[in-house]
Amino acid sequence: MYAVNFLLLSAALFSIGVFGVIARRNAVMVLMSIELILNSVNLNLVAFALINKDIDGHIFALFVIAVAAAEVGVGLGMVLMIYRNRRSIALDELSEMHG
């Protein structure tokens, strides 16, 4: 069935996103990876809504999109903040505290 393709694509996007979060050091790249994860979720929801033939999935996806926008807003704000304080957005330099 063609719906499987959506799910496979979404799983691939999710995996790429998780890999990006784990492997990337650049804060903006990590943010983008998180966006990938959220979009894979959206793809899932919409595909399932099609399969299940109801509207809940679409609505859920809209909520996810709205919240993701808010999240990225906050995220970019934070990236800007650390850039101002340290002139760098490399995450592995954020290690003042450990133990």
Partner 1 sequence: MIASILAQGTDWIRPHADWHALAPEIVLVVGINLVLLIDLWLDDAKKWMMATLTGFVLLAAFIPVVTLAVIGDDVRSMFFDRYVVDEYALILKAMFLLIGYVVVLISQNELEEGGYYQGEFYLMLLVSVLGMVMMTSSRDLVSIFVALELLSIPAYMMAAWRKRDTKSNEAGVKYYLLGVFASGVLLYGMSYLYGTTGTTKLTEIGAALAEADAGPGLIAMQVVAVAFIIVGFGFKVSAVPFHTWAPDTYEGAPLPVTAFLSVASKAAGFVGLVTMLYVAMFAADGVYQPFLWILAALTMSVGNVLALRQTNIVRMLAYSSVSQGGFILMPLAVLATGDAAESALKSVVIYLLIYAFSNLGAFAVILAVSRKTRSGEISSFGGLMSYAPGMGLLMTLFLASLAGIPPFGIWIAKLQAFKTVLDAGGTAAYTLAVIAAVNTVIAAAYYMKVLREMWMKPAPDGDTTPINTPQPIWAALTICAAGTVVLGILPGLVLRFADLQDLTGALGGG
Residue of 3, 10, 88 lying closest to 42 (CA atoms): 10
In terms of CB distance, is 1 or 85 closer to partner 1? Answer: 85
Look at phi and psi of residue 97 and say left if phi exceeds 0, alpha if psi is from -120 to 50, else beta.
beta
- Residue 77 exposure: Cα atoms within 13 Å on the Cβ side: 6
- At 26, which amino acid appears? N
CB of 49 to partner 1, least distance (A): 8
Distance, in Å, from the CA atom of 12 to the CA atom of 1, rounded to the nearest integer, reads 18
Examine residue 16 and tell whether it contacts partner 1 (CB under 8 A): no
Map the footprint of partner 1 across residues 46-75, applying CB under 8 A.
47-48, 51-52, 54, 56-57, 59-60, 63-64, 67, 70-71, 74-75
**Which residues would be at the binding site for partner 1 (CB under 8 A)?**
14, 17-18, 21, 27, 30, 34, 37-38, 40-41, 44-45, 47-48, 51-52, 54, 56-57, 59-60, 63-64, 67, 70-71, 74-75, 77-79, 81-82, 85-86, 91, 94-99
